[in-house]
Amino acid sequence: MEKKTGCGINQPLEPPRSVSLFEIAKTFLHIGLVSYSLAALGEAKKSLVDKKNWMTDEEYLNGLALSQLLPGAPAVNLNTYIGYFLRGFPGAIVASISFVIPCFVAMVVLAHLYLNYNNVPLVSSLFKGVGALVVGLVFNTIIDLWKKGVNTPQLTLLAVGGFVMVYFLKVNIITLLLVAGVVSLGVTFLTIKFSSWKAVMNKKFWIAKKSSQREVSAIRFEFSKRKYFGMLIMLAVLLVTNFAVNYSNPIFRNLGNTLFGIGGLTFGSGYAMLPFIQDAMVNQYHFVTETEFGVALALSLLTPGPVTVISAFIGYKVAGVFGAALAMANMYLPSFAIVNIISDLYNRAGKVGKVKMVISGIVAAFFGTLWAVVFKLTGSSLVDLPTWGLALAAFGVQRFTKIDTLWIIIAGALISLVVF
């Protein structure tokens, strides 16, 4: 492959290389450390597509679509998929664990402080400030994703439809995905059959700036039947070991198996799981009180990572650090297994032109729902001039400078302690 220099002379492009597990671990630790709410989607794209060229925009958006179609927390699903995309099953394990380590450690520390001292110092001030920061970061994430995935009239219609269904009609995520899939299939048919439709509806609003110079940026995991069956065996061992621990005593069984079922059967987002977690952990098994669950929810929004890190708080109260690890493992293990099982089939299907068009439509509808989320976040988090100022500052710094998100969050947290 060649590229043109400023003088118009073609030079060979640097050949693709494999990605080491150490590189994956280091990268996903950083992503997990700076990922709050939906901003996790933007951090993954910024690190893996824009900076490292490990994936192209199209490959990333395909993974984003799959993460929404599966049960569990979409951010964890996405990072598991990317790890598998890069290095197969070992890459998926390293990426998933590295991504959740920062939020797990933060939640265990905060849970220890609260449960032992019945107080989390300055948590209300931090919560108010970080909530405002998240709005700014999420808004910047949506703009970036929108420019990549919604740049034709056809995709814009699907995105607007997704927004209307979630914000005004209050449909659940399963209904949204079904409708988006059917409509996307229909407009794909119209694009193929009618050239006049294609000419109007596929006209580009803008050409997004290329963030990767390659057709495929990194050497992805090469599929083989031997490797696939090896992965299935390792998954089976992992699941058997998990259930063996769950059934080792009644408390682990109730805690682990319940969270495993919620993680494997709840679609939409971590927020969709919260009512089921609350009912089981508070009302059914009485592992935490209503007050403690409310505190755990506040802390899960204060820490990086998905809101389902609330499971670590509950597990810590039940059985210490081991209980926290057991709870989080069962929360994410079902979707982790599904991603590893279907990723190769999904990648193969994604290479077919018609399937790619349908996937792009589903992604566009999902991007429309993100605006509904940011509107709700704005209403609940931006309640006065200081919070609006923090949100706008976070957006501006991330949008127009090269300052790492970690420093934005640290600075915002310190400002929160002073202002609030």
- Tell me if 54 sits within 8 A of 69, measured CB to CB: no
pTM of the model: 0.82
What's residue 276's pLDDT? 87
Residue 315 within any structural domain of the chain: yes
Structural domain of residue 50, as residue ranges? 18-151+224-350+383-419
Residue 191 within any structural domain of the chain: no
**Which of 7-16, 120-129, 226-235, 397-406 shows the lowest mean pLDDT across its residues?**
7-16
DSSP 9: -
Residue 1 within any structural domain of the chain: no
Buried b (16+ CB within 10 A) or exposed e, 29-61: bbbbbbbbbbbbbbbbbbbbbeeebbbbbbbbb
Q: Residue 13: how many CA atoms within 13 Å on its side-chain side?
A: 14
What's residue 11's pLDDT? 41
For 248-270, the pLDDT digits (tens) are 999 999 999 999 999 988 776 77
**Among residues 147, 216, 136, which one has the least CA distance to residue 395?**
136
Band of residue 374 on the pLDDT scale cut at 50, 70, 90: confident
User: How far is it, in rounded angstroms, from Cα 391 to Cα 389?
Assistant: 5
Residue 365 within any structural domain of the chain: no
Q: Identify residue 16 by its one-letter amino acid code.
A: P
Band of residue 213 on the pLDDT scale cut at 50, 70, 90: very low
Greater pLDDT, 355 or 66 = 66
What's residue 123's pLDDT? 65
**Among residues 36, 72, 109, which one has the least CA distance to residue 305?**
36
Residue 141 has pLDDT above 70, yes or no: yes
| Torsion sign over Cα 205, 208, 213, 217 | negative
Residue 278 has pLDDT above 60, yes or no: yes
Greater pLDDT, 107 or 353 = 107
CA distances, 309 to each of 78, 102, 245, 315 (Å): 16, 10, 20, 10
The total domain count for the chain is: 1
Residue 404 within any structural domain of the chain: yes
Greater pLDDT, 222 or 418 = 418
Band of residue 380 on the pLDDT scale cut at 50, 70, 90: confident
Phi, psi of 93 (to 5 degrees): -65, -50
Which range, 127-141, 323-337, 386-400, is most confident? 323-337
Residue 206 within any structural domain of the chain: no
Residue 359 within any structural domain of the chain: no
Phi, psi of 407 (to 5 degrees): -70, -30
For 71-84, the pLDDT digits (tens) are 888 899 999 999 99
Residue 121 within any structural domain of the chain: yes
170-176 mean pLDDT: 74
Band of residue 69 on the pLDDT scale cut at 50, 70, 90: confident
For 304-337, the pLDDT digits (tens) are 888 899 999 999 999 999 999 999 999 999 999 9
What's residue 96's pLDDT? 96
- Tell me if 134 sits within 8 A of 35, measured CB to CB: no
